[in-house]
Structure 1
Amino acid sequence: IYASRAAGNWDIYWQRVGGKNAVNLTKDSAEDDTQPAYSLDGNYIAFRSERTLKGIYVMEATSENVRRLSDVGRNPSWSPDGKELVVSADSFSAPTSRSIIPSALWAIDVASGNKRLLTEGDAVQPSWSPHGHRIAYWGMQPGGGQRDIWTIPAEGGAAMAVTNDEALDWNPVWSPDGQYLYFASNRGGCMNFWRVSVDEKTGQVTGEPEAVTTPSGYSQHISFSRDGKRMAYVQKSETQNLQRIAFNPSSAKTVGTPQAITQGTRHVTSPSISPDDEWLVYSSQGEKQEDIFLIKRDSAHQRQLTNDHFNDRAPRWSPDGNRIAFYSDRSGRYEIWSISADGTGLQQLTFTSGPSAVYPIWSPDGKHLIFKQRDRLPFIVETDKPWPEQTPRQLPPLAPAREQFWPWSWSADGRKLAGWWVDRVAGKNYIHTYDFETQSYEQLTSFGSNPVWLRDGRRLLFHSEGCIYFVDSETKKVREVLSAPPDEARSASLAHDERTLYYTLRRTEADIWMLNLEEQRK
């Protein structure tokens, strides 16, 4: 069983091993249905659905009797007795791209829908052990971007670390006998599979990681046959390149056809246009080495600003074009840094404690920076003062229980911020604005992220589910601006004259493969 968008939207398919005819089990749903999981007895399928009532659904293996079990949750995993599902709050398109941090784990009673909280730390992609003792998951280490794997008792309790190193470790799945925990990792250079022996009752790691090599440059999403002799997995190829298209600011519509700025196997993220509209800065987030690059808007010249093993992300030009702010883990944790456009003058700007400092945004006059600390409200600092002289000013909360506003764009008149609120329980994003004068927030949409202002301080662009949208902050009217199915348009950035829209185009190809584990071990 697997998810595919071969029919246009994501559906769940069933296919016999060795067969060629796939059966679409959710063809009657116009919305995306993903993340299917078989119950151990093979009678039921749990999955995530984006139908009008979003959440975790359960259906019979024949696709009959579909019902919503919970309004929250992603990546369901069945308990061995089929009585519960464990789910995480956050979903993700790639392990380097996360939106809800920290992400809690919940256990859901299949009969009643009652939920119990397992952990409030960061935890995604859970996997229930075959004898029901423990749940494996991966998450982000506090204060940094390191991805590691843990296990916790099925009834909740203290987590036991399985990995703790610089490698990107994710996608944990128990072997059917409960003796090993398999996972995906780039510790060998490319994203491939590893396994480590773990005591299923105590969570104690009892061996060193062993390579389980597949003939793939990027492998993910492990699934075992019941006897443990075969392993199915996904081989993925993904690129994310920079494109541009003419834009009419009056009608807020694109004109003509897109043109490629970068090509090949790049992973271009978070593009930001220079004040003179000549250069774009971007991060290579998602590649083995995540650095900051400059490229001319006509792609004639490219220059690499950072070149090391640290993760450098989300670069932003200063309004005067002299500096570029970004966040990096080069100090041992994520902090805000800046660098000159010629690659000199690397400087750490924040020295925070607690959660990571991410997503720097310049004020229009260049006198202030706002940044976000995970699980805290954003802080504003002055750009002309060293850290010991700073008194960071924190934005007020929207509501006592919802402190996950992620600012992304500062309006040209300096009066407002645009960003998105994350509802960690429902697993949803909402585009919001913040007004400095009234110190109040306003919700514009019920979906989306990464909004950018047009210069009139009223209209915005944002992206969601592979499309770029437009919203009027006064009328709240939303409409699609750009889509490129089956590819995904993301990360909108406008030229200062608003005549050119820059964005990233993510292209993904994936196939399902089968590995005979007995033959590999010979």
Structure 2
Amino acid sequence: MARTLQPKQRAVLHIINVESGVMTTRFESDALLFEAPNWSPDGETLYVNGDGNLYQLGVEEGDLEQIDLGGLPEINNDHVLSPDGRTMYLSCQDGHIYAFDLVGGVSRRVTNDRGPKFSHYLHGVSPDGQTLAYIGLSTANGDVVTNVYTIPAVGGEDVQITDDGYPDDGSEFSPDGQWIYFNSERGSTPPGHAQLFRVPVAGGAPEQLTFDERVNWFPHPSPAGGRLVYVSFPPGTLGHPEDVDVIVRVLEEDGTSRDLMRVFGGQGTINVPSWSPDGRRIAFVSYPIGDGMSGSLSD
């Protein structure tokens, strides 16, 4: 079931220059809880989800416009554009991933039927548009198990990249298509203590990228290469809840992290790739309540 706003809460869409820290507020609503902005390859359009639907709006001006998905099941906040901008890949509430042609308005299911206890959560499309990276969630035998998988964008055989009991999420391709970045609790003793990792697309041992006391989720590599943006939750957080104080952070090429923006948000803030195509800006969402600030620049 789609999330809704609390009383006196609003959803605020921000755009921030990662280098200068200059931020603008592009759009806000006290009626629709929208989430997870994607940026079109031409840099002119942003896409968000809300109330189980997909919406678009111009980067510079205009209101939200709902996109008719032609009878697809309700979508969640896992949606990623193809590199050419023609196809939106969507995770739906029936547990499957669909491809929706933004030009022709037709859709098709991509994922295979692995039974009612297996769900697919999309996070990445390869730079050549040929492969999707997703998190497979299995609830067999009463245990919840998540692993990183890939599947051809046209449909076909799934490839399991990780195979263990560690909670994984947020699988996304590097700009050169050689790595999959993700967050995981592997290597941590406290429950919920997710850090950032990457693993070769061909498979192999994951490499840990962050090593701090906070809970780090959803690494998004810049299309220009060299840095990641991610959302950092307070120490001790379990999962990636909504309505908490989080920090949008940048992991630089030298391995150092810096705070970019402090926001009241979490789930929905930056779940999917949200870099501008030139790698200079990101879009993200905050969810202030009452007179609370929608975001504050970090020192």
| TM-score, normalised by the number of residues in structure 2 | 0.71
Aligned counterparts of 2:211 and 2:88: Cα–Cα separation in 1 = 30
- 1:28 and 1:146, CA in 2 relative to 1: closer, same or farther beyond 3 A? closer
Partner in structure 2 of residue 73 of structure 1: 75
> Residue type matched to 2:102 in 1?
V
- Aligned-partner SS, 2:48: strand
Which structure exhibits the higher relative contact order, with contacts defined as CA atoms closer than 8 Å and separated by 6 or more residues? 2
Aligned counterparts of 1:27 and 1:43: Cα–Cα separation in 2 = 18
Give 1:319-358 correspondences, 5 Å limit: none
How much has 1:63 moved relative to structure 2? Answer: 4.2
Partner in structure 1 of residue 58 of structure 2: 60
Aligned partners of 1:192 and 1:216 also within 8 Å? no
Give 1:239-254 correspondences, 5 Å limit: none
Partner in structure 2 of residue 280 of structure 1: none
How much has 1:43 moved relative to structure 2? Answer: 2.1
User: Are 1:212 and 2:244 counterparts?
Assistant: no
Aligned counterparts of 2:30 and 2:60: Cα–Cα separation in 1 = 15
> Residue type matched to 1:78 in 2?
L
> Residue type matched to 1:509 in 2?
D
Aligned counterparts of 1:125 and 1:117: Cα–Cα separation in 2 = 13
Partner in structure 2 of residue 186 of structure 1: 185
- 1:14 and 1:153, CA in 2 relative to 1: closer, same or farther beyond 3 A? same
Aligned residues: 234
- Aligned-partner SS, 1:85: strand
Partner in structure 1 of residue 275 of structure 2: none
Aligned counterparts of 2:215 and 2:172: Cα–Cα separation in 1 = 17
| % identity of equivalent residues | 24
Partner in structure 2 of residue 510 of structure 1: 246
- 1:179 and 1:63, CA in 2 relative to 1: closer, same or farther beyond 3 A? farther
- 1:225 and 1:216, CA in 2 relative to 1: closer, same or farther beyond 3 A? farther
Aligned counterparts of 2:197 and 2:216: Cα–Cα separation in 1 = 11
How much has 1:114 moved relative to structure 2? Answer: 1.6
- 1:20 and 1:212, CA in 2 relative to 1: closer, same or farther beyond 3 A? closer
Give 1:80-99 correspondences, 5 Å limit: 80-90=83-93
Q: 1:136 aligns with which of 130, 133, 138?
A: 133
How much has 1:141 moved relative to structure 2? Answer: 2.6
Partner in structure 2 of residue 42 of structure 1: 43
Per-residue CA deviations over 1:488-511 (Å, capped at 9, x if unaligned) read 9xxxxxxxxxxxxxxxxx862211
Aligned counterparts of 2:138 and 2:81: Cα–Cα separation in 1 = 26
Partner in structure 2 of residue 116 of structure 1: 108
Aligned counterparts of 2:146 and 2:129: Cα–Cα separation in 1 = 25
Aligned counterparts of 1:29 and 1:8: Cα–Cα separation in 2 = 6
| TM-score, normalised by the number of residues in structure 1 | 0.42
> Residue type matched to 2:246 in 1?
A
> Residue type matched to 1:235 in 2?
S
Aligned counterparts of 1:18 and 1:8: Cα–Cα separation in 2 = 30
- Aligned-partner SS, 1:165: coil
Aligned counterparts of 1:25 and 1:507: Cα–Cα separation in 2 = 20
> Residue type matched to 2:39 in 1?
Y
Per-residue CA deviations over 1:83-128 (Å, capped at 9, x if unaligned) read 00111014xxxxxxxxxxx611011111233211011441013311
Aligned partners of 2:9 and 2:30 also within 8 Å? no
- 1:162 and 1:26, CA in 2 relative to 1: closer, same or farther beyond 3 A? same
How much has 1:62 moved relative to structure 2? Answer: 1.8
- Aligned-partner SS, 1:25: strand
How much has 1:19 moved relative to structure 2? Answer: 4.1
Higher gyration radius (CA): 1
